[in-house]
Amino acid sequence: MGKRSGYGAHSTAEEVAQGIDAKNLTAIVTGGASGIGAEVVRILAKQGARVVIAARNKEAAERARAAMEKELPGASVQCMELDLASLASVRGFVEDFKKSGLPLNLLINNAGVMFCPFSLTADGVESQFATNHLGHFLLTNLLLDTMKETAAKSGIQGRIVNLSSVAHTTVGYKEGIRDLDAINDRGSYDSKKAYGQSKLANILHANSLAVMFQREKINITANAVHPGLIGTPLWRHSAAMKLFVKIIYAGKWKSVEQGAATTIYAAIHPDMADVSGRYLADCQEAKPSKKALDPQLGKKLWDISELLVSRASA
C-alpha cells in the first residue's frame, strides 16, 4: 500500500481539490450530468479545468452546465452526447471531440448503470457489461492517441480514472469475467452478479492500461476507484436492495460531495503523479479482490472486449 493521503471517507471533493490549479487541463467526464459525475465536473471547473460533459441525456447535461456556469462565472463546461450502450454513439462522440481540436489530459470513465433487468444493446451485448465496461473500453482506446499527443506536447501527465465499486468483491460470477456466450445469456443472468462483473472489468481494464503505458513509456496513468455508498439514481432498479444495504451499512453512506472525492484525488491531486494500476477507496490505495489482480483474467477481458467491438463494426 502507498503512503496515507491525509484524506478519508468524510473528505469532500472540494477539500481534496483545494489549492490545486487545473487551468491547463482538459477533461472528459462520462455521466457528468448528475450524481457523482456532476460533482466531479463542478470541482474540475471550479479549479479552472476545461470540462466536457459526455452524457446520454443532452438536456440534463445542458441543465447541469447552466447551473455550474451560474455558480462559477467563467467556468469552461460544454456538453456532448454519448450513449455508452451504443458503440456507434461512442465512435460518433470521439469523431466530434476530435473535430473540436481540443487536447485531452483527463478521461474520467464515470457513467454506469446498476442491477438492471436483462437486456441486450443494439450491439447484442448485455446492458450492464456494455454500459459500464465495453463503451468505456472503446471510448478510451479511441481517445488514446489524443491523450498521448496532449501529454507529449504539454509535458503534463495524462490520467485515466475508471469508476469501479467494492461490489466487485461482494457480488459477481465465480469465474470473475464470464466467457463470451455466457455474458450475453439471458437464462443464467443475475443482475447483481452482472453488476459485480462489470465493476471487476473496470479495474482489470485500468490495470491493463497501466501495464501498457509502462511498457511503452507513455506518460499517462490509469487507476480505478470505489466512490463509496451513495444514494444516487443508480439505485433506481433496486429500492429493496438499497434499503437492505442502508440498514447493514448504516453510518457508512456518503454524500455526493464525499463520493466524488476519490475520483478528484485520482484525477488531479499531486500525490497521484506517476501512480498507476491502483485501486483507490476513501482517497487511499485499497486492496481489490484477487481476481482484480489476475493478469490472465485481464487478458481474457481485453480479448473479449476487442472481439465484441470488432463484431459491432463489422
| Residues forming the active site | 189
Q: H-type helices in 155-254, by residue range?
A: 167-170, 180-183, 191-215, 239-248
Positive or negative, the CA dihedral 42, 107, 179, 277 is negative
Angstrom distance (rounded) from CA 219 to CA 221: 7
Q: Which amino acid is at 292?
A: A
Q: Is 56 helix (H, G, I), strand (E, B) or coil?
A: coil
Angstrom distance (rounded) from CA 250 to CA 109: 28
DSSP assignment string, 74-104: T-EEEEEE--TT-HHHHHHHHHHHHHHT---
Q: How far is CA 56 from CA 79, 161, 184, in A?
A: 10, 19, 23
Angstrom distance (rounded) from CA 130 to CA 101: 28
Q: Which are the contacts of 279, defined by CB distance < 8 A and separation ≥ 6?
A: 164, 203, 223, 224, 225, 226, 285, 286, 287, 288, 292
Angstrom distance (rounded) from CA 76 to CA 68: 9
DSSP assignment string, 127-177: HHHIIIIIHHHHHHHHHHHHHHHHHHHH-PPEEEEEE--THHHHS--TTSS
Q: Which three cell numbers stand for residue 279?
A: 485501486
Angstrom distance (rounded) from CA 280 to CA 207: 12
